[in-house]
Amino acid sequence: MSRDAWTDTRTETARGTDSREGPRERTPQHPARDVRQDVRGRDRTYRIRASEWRTLKTVGTFRVVADVDLLRDARDETVMRNDLRHLVEEGLLERKTGIVEHHPTRLVVLTREGKALLDRHRDPDAPDATQQYHVGLVKPRELAHDVQFYRAYQAEAARIEADGGHVTRVALDYELKRDYQTFLNRRDRSPEATVDEDRRTFAEARHLPIIDGHLELPDLRLEYETVDGRVETRDLEVVTEHYSRSQLSGKARAGFAMYRPASGGTTRGGTPLDPYTLDWLR
């Protein structure tokens, strides 16, 4: 949020993240009641409060989020329900329905207007100033896979926080693949350059592994600051039943943190397993 988006005096938040809300941003201090205030868009003014702004950023960061995840992890479920309803009415978020792990699931995605508003009010001094935001659904057939990204982030961010670190930025596989293709097709590419050389150069620059001649790209890359101030990255992969043994082997050898949708069935006590959770593999 830009310095003019709210009228309250801005101060730096305490260092750290809350994995329920995505990377921690610099936010204004608000009155006891989190009231909606005017935020100017390209063609109109929106009435938005801080909790709604955080929700916009979370959804935009991960492209698609199940509303059950947002509601479950909200500090106040009633507030979150109201926030989602208001953001949809304002045309900043859109609700869709998809099948996730064989369950009809209500999903939330950012609209073009929502992305434009986030981009318009970027704070260049915030830790997440370069965070990319994404609109709508790109590959519906991969929906059941991509909706798990936010859940994997939550789990891994908690591990980082437990070690005293905090996440500053999240990059999706879309960004990494786009950057790789841009590099391969750069205008100043030497006619003598080979694909192997380009792959190795890109991998070294991005600290990505090459396994058996294949550039391994994670589903998610978390950029974070350690407790002693170092900037590090951690790569995550959400694996599904469709992964082949060779794919699983490549991701494991790459050193990615791996998660999979929780197994079906029940626990020993007969309690059904939560279909909206992930199992940590490594």
Please answer whether residues 64 and 147 qualify as being in contact, where contact means their C-beta atoms are separated by less than 8 angstroms: yes
144 vs 274: CA distance, rounded Å: 15
- The owner of tokens 């790789």 is 180
DSSP assignment of 117-133? HHHHT--TTSTTTT---
- What does the buried/exposed string (b/e) look like for 264-282 if buried means 16 or more CB atoms within 10 Å of the residue's CB? eeeeeeeeeeeebebeeee
What is the second-level CATH architecture of the domain 37-136?
Orthogonal Bundle (1.10)
Q: In this structure, what token pair is assigned to residue 48?
A: 């938005």
Q: How many residues would you count in the chain? A: 282
The structure's pTM equals 0.81
Domain residue ranges of the chain, discontinuous segments joined by +: 37-136, 150-280
Each residue's pLDDT expressed in tens, for the chain with a length of 282 residues: 343 354 433 333 333 445 555 665 444 444 445 889 999 998 899 999 999 999 999 999 999 999 999 999 888 999 999 999 999 999 999 999 888 777 788 999 999 999 999 999 998 888 888 999 999 887 777 888 899 999 999 999 999 999 999 999 999 999 999 999 999 999 999 999 999 999 999 999 999 999 999 999 999 999 999 999 999 999 999 988 888 888 888 899 999 999 988 765 444 444 333 445 777 776
